[in-house]
């Protein structure tokens, strides 16, 4: 059951409007502009830090940063803003569904609490893997 404290406007804003405007601002304009002036790696990191700052909630900080790294990398490689907007929408939808389901079963509550921990661990593993794989290219672009 969905938590009734979520209004229709909040759900629509979080799933449709926020991803659209955030991706246009952060990926289409900011990341594109920065990547023309500085290395793509630096542009991705700066954009991701700024994206993280607007998601000031402590629970969202790490996930916002990791997702922004992914969205930025995807955008620079494919230049498809619609795909990045869609990925952001799906991320917000999943977060809303997991975070606002009325959880009546203890094992589901345990899953929800561990969700962010697993996201942190998987994000750290992905970042380590990418750094190891692209270490030489990273050093050339810094």
Q: Averaged in consecutive runs of 10 residues, what is the pLDDT profile of the chain (142 residues)?
A: 67 94 98 95 93 83 86 91 92 78 52 60 68 64 52
The predicted pLDDT at position 2 comes to 47
Cβ-based neighbour number of residue 65 at 10 Å: 19
**For residue range 28-40, what is the model confidence (pLDDT) as tens digits?**
999 999 999 998 9
11-18, Cβ contacts within 8 angstroms, sequence gap of 24 or more: 11/96, 14/92, 14/96, 15/89, 15/92, 15/93, 15/96, 16/89, 18/92
Please, which residues have CB within 8 angstroms of residue 110's CB and are 6 or more apart in sequence? none
What pLDDT shows up at residue 53? 93
Q: How far from the centroid of its chain's Cα atoms is residue 15's Cα?
A: 13
């Amino acid at each position: 059951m969905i938590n009734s404290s979520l209004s229709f406007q909040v759900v629509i804003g979080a799933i449709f409007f926020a991803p659209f405007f955030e991706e246009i601002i952060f990926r289409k304009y900011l990341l594109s502009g920065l990547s023309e002036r500085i290395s793509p790696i630096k542009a991705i990191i700066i954009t991701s830090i700024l994206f993280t700052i607007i998601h000031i909630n402590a629970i969202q900080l790490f996930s916002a940063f990791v997702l922004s790294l992914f969205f930025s990398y995807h955008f620079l490689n494919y230049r498809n803003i619609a795909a990045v907007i869609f990925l952001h929408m799906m991320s917000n939808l999943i977060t809303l569904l997991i975070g606002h389901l009325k959880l009546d079963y203890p094992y589901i509550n345990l899953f929800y609490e561990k969700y962010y921990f697993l996201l942190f661990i998987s994000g750290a593993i992905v970042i380590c893997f990418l750094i190891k794989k692209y270490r030489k290219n990273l050093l050339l672009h810094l």
